[in-house]
Structure 1
């Protein structure tokens, strides 16, 4: 599987590489990005940032690069991609975000530093930095979530 993670110029993004062993990870960002390609991951530029057409830029990029799943990490990408998830799905691209209806439960306005993060796909816990986290969550939980070990109050892992 080929997975696109946006925010590739941010060090927090590199933490996610260990969550997807055996998959090719493409870390991308807007503007200048070093062109690095290895066997398991690569870096790419998404071009010039235009917040008015985020979904179009990302869909075009995903189709061109044969992406299977996308994990948006920039705050300004979350809502447009949640609204466009059905369109991405028509092209065989899974948007790893909560549904638009539940997005408000997991999105936050303030920047919070979390000690742990977890990755869910269709409610299944596929990776966590905290092994005490219970594996059973909401059946439709999708995405990367930050949390502190004293609580399982998940919030989207964004930059």
Structure 2
């Protein structure tokens, strides 16, 4: 079971990754990330939450990367993903906030 934590450019994402202590944890961000970080496979470029098809792009990305849980750290991301929660649940993907460890 892979876990995606958004806001990879933040200290909060790394703190959460350490708390979860799961080797299958991937960090992702819609902010520009260095190419070397993306090439390792432990970090993903995410769509921006202001994209009109954000939830669908996140679902596709999750399915392509076998992600079962998403910890959305930005309020805008969390809100949009929670709104589409039923769709994600149909595919066995759980949407969580950082407080839901």
CA distance in structure 2 between the partners assigned to 1:94 and 1:50 by the alignment:
18
Structure 1 gaps, min length 5? 97-142, 146-155
Q: SS state of the match for residue 9, structure 2?
A: coil
The answer to whether the 8 A contact 2:4-2:26 is kept is yes
Between Structure 1 and Structure 2, which shows a larger proportion of helix residues?
2
TM-score (norm 1): 0.54
User: How far does residue 68 in structure 1 lie from its aligned partner after superposition?
Assistant: 0.8
Kindly indicate whether structure 1 or structure 2 has the higher relative contact order, using CA contacts under 8 Å at least 6 residues apart: 2
Structure 2 gaps, min length 5? none
CA distance in structure 2 between the partners assigned to 1:19 and 1:50 by the alignment:
25
- Number of residue-to-residue matches in the alignment: 96
For residues 30-64 of structure 1, the C-alpha deviation after alignment (integer angstroms, 9 at most, x for no partner) is 143222537xxx111115x2512221121111011
TM-score (norm 2): 0.81
- Greater C-alpha Rg: 1
Match of 1:78 in 2: 78
For residues 8-42 of structure 1, the C-alpha deviation after alignment (integer angstroms, 9 at most, x for no partner) is 1112211011221234111001143222537xxx1
Between Structure 1 and Structure 2, which shows a larger proportion of strand residues?
1
